[in-house]
Amino acid sequence: MPKVLKAHNMNTCLGCYTCMLTCAVVNKRNHSFRKSRILISTSGGMQGKYVATVCVGCKDAACVEHCPTGALTQRAGGGVKLDSEKCAGCRTCVGACTVNAVFFDEDDNKPLICTHCGICARYCPHDCMALVDVAE
């Protein structure tokens, strides 16, 4: 059964950014937060609650619909897959994402697309994220 990443318990987030760092290291072999496929930020400065910007696993993803080269395809259960060879780096997918969860790698000139691998949830010390089963 396919799984989708959910930020289900952000009230326990302390802003350690372990999830972002782990995502960048595992998926891009880089220790920069700019290479992460998720974003942790505050909702209102230093005293605000932490929020996670993550791919919500759309079943009819706008980023796929707007991709002019066909580099993005729908993933079973929701979310998308990126074919880097087809990607022209036009950033149309970044603007099309309804939850602002498509980030862009300036060095590779390619979008950073969450694959719902769950590495961020696995290493989150506060159980803020989880992979949940979804129907196909």
For residue 35, give the CATH number of its domain.
Answer: 3.30.70.20
Mean pLDDT of the chain: 94
Place of tokens 């939850």: 99
Domain of residue 68 covers 3-133
**Share above pLDDT 90 across residues of the chain, in percent, rounded to a whole number:** 88
Token code pair at residue 35: 């290479």
Q: How far apart are CA 87 and CA 33, in angstroms?
A: 22
pLDDT at 44 over 90: no
Residue 12 has what pLDDT? Answer: 94
Place of tokens 């010390």: 125
Mean predicted confidence (pLDDT) in 10-25: 96
Q: How far apart are CA 53 and CA 107, in angstroms?
A: 21
pLDDT at 136 over 80: no
Q: How far apart are CA 101 and CA 112, in angstroms?
A: 9
How many domains is the chain partitioned into structurally?
1
Which one is predicted more confidently, 45 or 59?
A: 59
Q: How far apart are CA 58 and CA 35, in angstroms?
A: 22
Work out the burial of residue 78: count CB atoms within 10 Å of its CB; fewer than 13 is exposed, 13-18 middle, 19 or more buried: buried
pTM over 0.85: yes
